Structure 1
Amino acid sequence: MAQRSADEERPEAAIAQPENPHKLTKTQRRAFISAFGGWSLDGYNASLFGLVLSPALTDLLPRSGYPASAENIAFFGELGVAVFLFGWGCSFLWGPLADRYGRVPILMASILTYALFTFLAGFSQDVWQLNLFRLLAAIGIGGEWSLAGTFVAESMPERKRAFFGGLLHSGTYWGFLLGAVVNIFVGLVVGWRWMFFLGVLPALFVLYIRTQVHGDTQRWRASVERDGRRRDYWSFLRGILRPPYRRRTLNNAVLVTVALMGFWASSQYLPTAVKALAVGSGDDPKHAAFLGTVAVGLLSLMTALSCLVTPLLCNRFGRRRALAGLFTVMVIGIAGGYAWAYPERSVPLFFLFVVVMGVGGANFAVFTIWLPEQYPTDIRASGFAFCTTMSRFLAAGGTFLIGYGISTVGIAAPLALTAIPFLLAFLLLRLSPETRGQVLPD
């Protein structure tokens, strides 16, 4: 099947759109609710590991033969992050499956996967069992971004596609916020295991998708009809790694990797960093844990709100410039928080930079809008999945080095250094295609 460059001009999509392009049909509303709900609950489950990192390791390390020292918690915490990222990298498998069998059934399968293994993590008896369940849950969690993003891009009216892409991506941060709220009333009260037990709830959301969403996107069905047969699984990988898509695929993967380094610094280590900062400033450990959860909630709220503004930035300034601007904000937040406020032992100043990091974290919403625009329908989910999952393998190695640095020199310096890779991103953005004003390719 001949591939076409996403930069070529194409006629408007052949999908039947509603008469009013600013109003969704019932089918489109249900499609968006399904994707948004799955992605939001994905964010809740993903946030759990960061929220309960300290209490879970404090409980499990002695059972595993290690003292629950600050150094061991930092080291095994980073090991867990690396394991999670490796599992997320393995979730590339969902992309070709969605291109081969459809967006909806694979979306449901990924939700069931992360719900089941998050639930089982609550039964962990040592750090190795916790990391095993974390690995398996990450395979499901990692697939949700590309599956939901592809599903929404292909379902929404062309004029509103960017808006719903940004709204969709805000869902994961509403999920993070939900996790922080639940941790205050559940995790900090009855224990960390119950946070994982509640992670099974997304499985119930599959019932909504199963009963309310009938069939798949018209774009995907039309692509299958044009192809005329079921393609080999690995043909989708070959499609995104050959011209004219090879360079943009590899470039996008590196850009997402850079964004991930900032994400783990601003999000996954945030509760632990705030707790250590507060305790070092003379605060009570219980109140310090509460402040860590509040920091995650504040970060999530700011990012969710910023995701709603991101489509406006993308349409006004273009995808590349919007991403560069949000990367700049993230650099300021990370450097200010970990290179200035943390060494100064100032909790209020650190919280100020948490707000900045929260705004910059909306850079991921740009990818949700931008990546589907760079690939045709027959390889869209595969391209999206590759760029957002292969980057996890690179980030896993980088975060393991961060963990080693934390165990030797403390939290602040290694996390502050995660701002440096963003300098590479500014160079790579010059090589990326600008898709503002283009219709979604068929």
Structure 2
Amino acid sequence: MQSNVLTAADRPARTPLNRNQITGFWAAWFGWTLDGMDSIIYALVLVPALTELLPKSGFTATPAHIGLAGSILFALFLVGWGLSFIWGPIADRFGRTRVLAATIFGYALFTGLAAMSQNVWELAVFRLLAGVGIGGEWALAGTYVAEAWPEDRRKMGAGYLQTGYYAGFFIAAALNYTVGAHYGWRAMFLCGLVPVVVSIFTLLKVREPERWEKIQDKPVQRSPLRTIFNAEYARRTLVNSVLLTVAIIGLWAGAVYEPAAIIQLALKEGMTHIQAVHMASIGTGILSIGTILGCLALPVMAERIGRKGTLAFYFLGMAVCIALGFGWAFYLPNGLDTFITVLFFLGFFGGNFAMFSLWLPEQYETRVRATAFAFNTSIGRFIGAGVNFLLAAAIASSGTLGTPVAYTALAFLAGIAVIPFAMETRGQALPQ
């Protein structure tokens, strides 16, 4: 009797990657890694930066004022992310790699300039402008990998790419543990200038994907932005925007507020300020490890049970972990260890962002893919910014960080209700 079990030799070989695909991936990955590093630097230095800058801006540096100002500045950062939708149509017209290099250069420059801030207003402007670059990098990197990698490898490529953002969290945590703890928050922002090197490398070394080059001779019927709202694409564009809004609302619970929460818990347990900063770095590192594992697991699960079922699983995990972490562990008498333990699982389910790197390119053709990716991610950031203003007001009025953030878990339950309306693309090739 013959066995139906395939041996390793029987399994079809994966398509080998050529030099440009490998070089392009690492350029996109390092850009996304340093994007993540720049994003989380603000969360890690939030307390010391605002403690110094608020008095210079005419405000006392109370926990309530720090929470309020921190939420407003992050909301402005999200507005910058939202404005990054401009990169999509530019990339569909002029190419993925050149525009990708421009986004990396932009967020690196304005993150470095944030080190020169003399008051909260200057810091807010620099974070707004950095957000424009940071928001565009994801859309361009995700589009590039989807188009450049062969069909049998691009799904895992999306998962590999998304690990970069959270590897950036880990790098930022390590920098905060060393550079930030000893040289202060301004030195941390100066570290954000490093991606300039990646942008130059991307511009000089990486060629455009063949998919994009093949469509350049075809006549353009209408603008990409109008196309993603035609009869074919309107529903999926709306649903994708809602789902990304949900994911972004949960972002500050898992990333932006966890360092501040850890610092508060550590100080309450009698640690010094430097020890509390170290604990925030450790907690961010643990969150990052969990998220990297979640990003790697997601493509495998998405191929087995489908895109919609996998995203529902990750959204449910986010809802549970946010509620447990900020609504329960944060208020335990000695809750620091419990809170950090929950962070690992919160990080794993935070890998839901890898789904969009995999899923969004599958729903749009090449001539509008970057525009669709950028628009879907950006509209969620605008709405997320508005929700963050409400969250800031709730933190200020209640005088506590935990409960208002815990309520963001409800957004993921709403997202689960929207998922059935999304487009399932498991088993389908990337559209030309």
Q: Give the TM-score, by structure 2 length.
A: 0.95
Asked whether 1:366 is paired with 2:355, we answer yes
Query: Does residue 146 of structure 1 match 2:135?
Result: no
CA contact (8 A) 2:319 2:413 kept: no
Match of 1:388 in 2: 377
Q: Distance in 2 between matches of 1:270 and 1:254?
A: 24
Aligned-pair distance for 1:257?
0.8
Determine which of 179, 182, 185 is the counterpart of 1:189: 182
Distance in 2 between the 1:303 and 1:322 partners?
A: 15
Distance (Å, rounded) in 2 between the aligned partners of 1:254 and 1:210? 33
Matched residues in 2 for 1:165 and 1:102: separation? 19
5+ residue gaps in structure 1? 1-18
Q: State the match for 2:405 in structure 1.
A: 415
Question: Aligned equivalents of 2:253 and 2:117: distance in 1?
Answer: 26
Amino acid at match of 1:103: R
CA separation in 2, counterparts of 1:356 and 1:331? 11
Q: Structure 2 CA distance, aligned partners of 1:418 and 1:211? A: 43
Deviation string 1:362-418 (CA, Å, 9 cap, x unpaired) is 000011100000000000000010111111110001011111111121111100000
User: 1: CA distance between counterparts of 2:27 and 2:197?
Assistant: 12
**Cα distance between partner residues in 2 of 1:276 and 1:33:** 37
> What is the distance in 2 between the residues matched to 1:363 and 1:387?
15
Matched, 1:268 2:256: yes
Contact between 2:79 and 2:382, CA under 8 Å: does it hold in 1? yes
Which residue in the other structure is 1:333 paired with? 321
Once the 2 structures are TM-superposed, how far is the Cα of residue 42 of structure 1 from its aligned partner?
Answer: 0.7
1:242 to 225, 230, 238: 230
Q: What is the DSSP-based 3-state SS (H/G/I as helix, E as strand, rest coil) of the residue aligned with 2:278?
A: helix
- Which letter maps to 2:273? P
- Which position in structure 1 is the counterpart of 2:394? 405
Structural RMSD (CA): 1.3
Aligned to 1:10: none
Counterpart of 1:225 in 2: which secondary structure?
coil
Q: Which moved more, 1:343-352 or 1:37-46?
A: 343-352
List alignment gaps of at least 5 residues for structure 2.
Answer: 1-11
Q: Distance in 2 between matches of 1:35 and 1:204?
A: 13
State the 1:270 CA deviation: 0.7
TM-superposed CA distance for 1:20, in Å, is: 6.1
Worse overlay, 143-152 or 270-279: 270-279
1:271 is displaced (CA, Å) by 0.6
Structure 1 residue corresponding to 2:121, chosen from 120, 125, 128: 128
Partner of 1:33: 26
Q: Aligned residues: percent identity? A: 43
Contact 2:29 / 2:161 at 8 angstroms: preserved in 1? Answer: yes
Q: What residue number does 1:218 align with?
A: 210
Instruction: Tell me the distance in 2 between the aligned counterparts of 1:209 and 1:396.
Output: 31
Q: Residue in 2 aligned with 1:432?
A: 422
State which of 48, 58, 61 in structure 1 corresponds to 2:54: 61
SS of 1:342's partner is helix
Shift of 1:117: 0.6
Deviation string for 1:37-70 (max 9, x for gaps)?
1111111111111110000001101111111111
Q: Is contact 1:183–1:195 with CA below 8 Å preserved after alignment?
A: yes
Matched letter for residue 238 of structure 1: R
Corresponding residue to 1:108 among 101, 106, 118: 101
Q: Please show how residues 155-174 of structure 1 align to structure 2 within 5 Å.
A: 155-174=148-167
2:31–2:104: 8 Å Cα contact kept in structure 1? yes
**Contact 2:173/2:281 (8 A) holds in 1:** yes
Measured in 1, the distance between the counterparts of 2:285 and 2:263 equals 14
The number of residue pairs the alignment matches comes to: 419
Q: CA offset at residue 276 of structure 1?
A: 0.9
Assess if the C-alpha contact under 8 Å between 1:332 and 1:356 holds in 2. no
Q: CA deviation at 1:21?
A: 3.9
- Tell me which of 71, 74, 84 is aligned to 2:64: 71
TM-score, scaled relative to structure 1: 0.93
Contact 2:166 2:291 in 1 (8 A): yes
Distance in 1 of aligned mates of 2:414 and 2:293: 27
Question: Is the 8 Å Cα contact of residues 333 and 353 (structure 1) preserved in structure 2?
Answer: yes
Q: Distance in 2 between matches of 1:93 and 1:221?
A: 21
C-alpha distance in structure 2 between counterparts of 1:381 and 1:211, whole Å: 21
Cα distance in 2 for partners of 1:352, 1:198 equals 29
1:441 corresponding residue in structure 2: 431
* CA distance in structure 2 between the partners assigned to 1:211 and 1:86 by the alignment: 31
Matched AA of 1:357: L
Which amino acid letter does the alignment assign opposite residue 186 of structure 1?
A: V
